[in-house]
Structure 1
Amino acid sequence: MEKVLIVDASKVTALFIKRTLEHAGFECDTAHSLEQAAELISQNEYFVGLSSLIYEGHEAGDGIDLLTANGIPAIVVTASLDDNQLKDILKKNIVDYVLKRPEHSEYIVRIVKRVFNNRKTKVMVVEDSITVRHWISAILIRQGLTVLEAANGEEACKIFADNPDIKLVLTDYTMPGMDGRELTAKLRLSSHMDELSIIVLSSDENSRTAPLFLKTGANDFIHKSASVEEILCRVNSNLEMLELLEESRDRANKDFLTGMWNRRYFFEHAEPMFVEAEDNDKLLSIVMLDIDHFKNVNDTYGHDVGDLVLKEFSSKIVEYFGSRGLASRFGGEEFTVLLEGVDSAELESYVDDFREMIEAFSMYCRHEKLKFTVSIGVTSNVKLGLDGMINRADILLYEAKTSGRNKVVCDPL
């Protein structure tokens, strides 16, 4: 696992930051000289580094240079910072700076989390001026973000269609062809405000421009005269809000133990899938799975091992069925998959291959080899409706259990 490197001549400060970040779940190394830091860098991978400005026998800012020269995003931690010092360190392509004050400890955690999450976050800059576009992109790349660029609204729409995982769009207002407002309106047709953040960056002085964009669906509006710091604060705040909303959705829709979709999410999304399949004559199947003798696992090894078995089993279900359907945990040791497009001729063998994979699988718990099997009920009788198919698959699952377990029982073709 990649770690955080904390470089500070003060052992007290370094320890305080280390404990703060470790409490937030990050693994940290500390160094109290640049020589010690260089040695650690040669032996470890760090996704971010925090460094003070001054070290004995070195020029101010050498700690930052050490980090950036090794490709490590740098955060400056300093007791004080005047305007001239700020200008100097901003020239060094730092991620951010934090003052050495107890009340700023939460911000240290926020910015480190931001750098960590940015590595898998994609954003787009839409600006017709190539100079301004490259300037904004450079600021965002410094934060570890993956940045895509577009010169106008039409180009932005094409890029977004090819990259639906874009989380934030930073767009100019006035552009040839499709302007920023039209782009905002078009993007909002497919992506809600809790899925995609749109920030408008404009030099327009009209007091009505900002509210017009916000009413069109923009999340934020920044004047082009804003400082780099303000732009970054707004970008970070918008990305953090998206993540909080995503976490909230996950808590509502995912099983807390396995991370699989829960029963509620399954029915919300299975119903429209079922309607679409009926309208387009698509093949649908319901697969009900239940771990055999799961109570014995809990009784023999304890519920903590039982939880590990559930996690391992659920990951196998998602890995095997996930690309072809909707997989969820219905409760306890029972799981349900809505399969799409699997021909009835191959259905039983396809599901039985999964059963065989589980039978061959083993895991180690407390130095003991643990194996388990699964019983499965399968139906493709769409005439029963969604609820009827689930009930029918459950009956077939019961037949698999009562006839010896570790088998697949399908409706006859």
Structure 2
Amino acid sequence: MTHFPPSLQDQVGTGTTNGRVLLIENSRFYAGMLASELRERLGVDVVVVASLTAARQALETHAATPFFLALTGLVLPDAGGDQITGLLIAHRVPTVVVTGVYDETARQRLAEQPIIDYVLKDAPGNIDYLVWLVRRIERNRSITALVVDDLAETRAQVADLLDLYGFRVRCAADAAAGLAALSEDASIRLIVVEHDLPGTDGIEFIRRARQAHARDMLSIVGTSAGGGPSLVARFLKQGANDFVRKPFSREEFFCRISQNVDNLELIGTLQDLATRDYLTGLPNRRHFFDQGTRALARTDAPMTVAMLDLDRFKQINDHYGHDAGDAALRAVAAAVAQHARAGDLVARFGGEEFCMLAAEQSSEAASASLEALRDAIAKLRIMYKQHTIRVTVSIGVCHRQDTDLHGMLTDADRLLYLAKARGRNRVVCESWLPA
């Protein structure tokens, strides 16, 4: 049952997660190894117990902040498999069985219970898979899944599975209700839609959904009990990411759903790498030009473009080293991001330069706001090893109605160097200059 998503090696060992996992395992060595990996690579709180009695106590102790997942063996000193899984199911804890022995009878019996997965300890990459699995279940808790199916029984079955996998779940009995839910809930990232819907079928539902939601932002999985191979092709051509034929096994459904959500996250990561500065976490120059050009085209109101440059940055690198310079850049980036209002566009432009695009401000208000930002940066105390580093910035401000972002940046850059020439650590706005 162990199944690796395509990008597993890229995903394990990166990022952190939050929450608490219950690990029920009678092998002290294996429990210690797995718990250590989960804590170090995901940042989860792992509670390790070696008996049913201890598991029951842990569930009671943490009832106020329950476990989002349990990993359990099937053999304990005081209990067998059915008792263990029965306890976890009674406490509504999503469960993954981790066992050293493959038992087809036990596996079939567990398949009839609300168990997420059945994992063999000696399978290649077992620890990596479990790390991925824990991360996947935890991340699902921030994702809403929508089930669109006119049959109440099937709708409930799919919803229960998605709930078991940690998703927040919404349901709709027809295409119209599904599209309405999608338009009002931005957290929906996954849809499971049946083909045979009353009125508007699943394929038409997908076509309409795709008008506003691209494949890289919303994963849609089609389902049907009939229709033949051509139906699968029609679903995919209209924008479905995947198709699962009914009746499906729980194992297949979990693997398909997990792969599709993994792919969304992988695409998001690649897009983030293309548009975000690695060092500071701010958007990069490319993103600034793309979004800024669109923003200028949408309005005929004056906009503010500001260029910021760290003063005497080379001296920081020369005196303290490039790691200290990186720390200074991160601190300034954080100050710029914190100062920005909702709707403002900020970016690291390159080197020690940052830029900002802001709307709905007068020239005076924009200058006052940037003066406050300059002052906040001047008050920073950046700790690096045993040193306290202080930085200042010079800022050039262009404020006018224009559709030429490049031209506004050029003028802001010219004003920036005028601020440098006037002594640094100051703001120069074009409205202050003589005509």
- TM-score, normalized by the shorter chain, greater than 0.5: yes
Question: Could you tell me how far apart the structure 2 residues matched to 1:217 and 1:321 are?
Answer: 37
1:330 and 1:336 in contact (8 A); partners too: yes
Sequence identity percentage: 32
Instruction: Name the counterpart of 1:220.
Output: 242
2:374 and 2:425 in contact (8 A); partners too: yes
Instruction: Name the counterpart of 1:298.
Output: 317
Name the amino acid aligned to 2:24: V
Instruction: Name the counterpart of 1:397.
Output: 416
Question: Could you tell me how far apart the structure 2 residues matched to 1:324 and 1:117 are?
Answer: 27
1:154-186 deviation digits (Å, cap 9, x = unpaired): 112121112234211111111123221111001
Name the amino acid aligned to 2:370: V
Question: Could you tell me how far apart the structure 2 residues matched to 1:46 and 1:370 are?
Answer: 43
Question: Could you tell me how far apart the structure 2 residues matched to 1:99 and 1:235 are?
Answer: 21
Instruction: Name the counterpart of 2:168.
Output: 146
Q: What is the aligned counterpart of 1:123 among 135, 145, 151?
A: 145
Question: Could you tell me how far apart the structure 1 residues matched to 2:266 and 2:82 are?
Answer: 35
1:34-88 deviation digits (Å, cap 9, x = unpaired): 3555666647985433211110112324444555666653321012344542354
Question: Could you tell me how far apart the structure 2 residues matched to 1:336 and 1:130 are?
Answer: 53
Q: 1:320 to 1:62 in 2, by over 3 A?
A: farther
Q: What is the aligned counterpart of 1:200 among 222, 226, 230?
A: 222
Q: 1:54 to 1:239 in 2, by over 3 A?
A: same
The DSSP-based 3-state class of the residue aligned with 2:355 is strand
Question: Could you tell me how far apart the structure 2 residues matched to 1:91 and 1:156 are?
Answer: 29
Name the amino acid aligned to 1:133: R
2:327 and 2:382 in contact (8 A); partners too: no
Name the amino acid aligned to 1:122: T
1:382-410 deviation digits (Å, cap 9, x = unpaired): 44821111111111111222223222211
Say whether 1:56 aligns with 2:77: yes
2:293 and 2:403 in contact (8 A); partners too: no
Instruction: Name the counterpart of 1:136.
Output: 158
Question: Could you tell me how far apart the structure 2 residues matched to 1:215 and 1:400 are?
Answer: 56
1:382 and 1:389 in contact (8 A); partners too: no
Say whether 1:283 aligns with 2:302: yes
Give the aligned length.
Answer: 410
Greater relative contact order: 1 or 2 (C-alpha under 8 angstroms, separation 6 or more)?
2
Q: 1:46 to 1:377 in 2, by over 3 A?
A: farther
| Distance apart, 1:93 and its partner CA | 2.9
Instruction: Name the counterpart of 2:99.
Output: 78
Q: What is the aligned counterpart of 1:11 among 24, 28, 37?
A: 28
What value does the CA root-mean-square deviation take over the aligned residues?
2.7
Question: Could you tell me how far apart the structure 2 residues matched to 1:378 and 1:256 are?
Answer: 26
The DSSP-based 3-state class of the residue aligned with 1:395 is helix
Instruction: Name the counterpart of 1:356.
Output: 375
- 58-67 vs 343-352, greater mean Cα deviation: 58-67
Task: Name the TM-score, length of structure 2 as normaliser.
Answer: 0.85
1:6 and 1:28 in contact (8 A); partners too: no
Instruction: Name the counterpart of 2:271.
Output: 249
Name the amino acid aligned to 1:73: P
- 183-192 vs 127-136, greater mean Cα deviation: 127-136
1:324 and 1:341 in contact (8 A); partners too: no
Question: Could you tell me how far apart the structure 2 residues matched to 1:359 and 1:94 are?
Answer: 56
Say whether 1:331 aligns with 2:350: yes
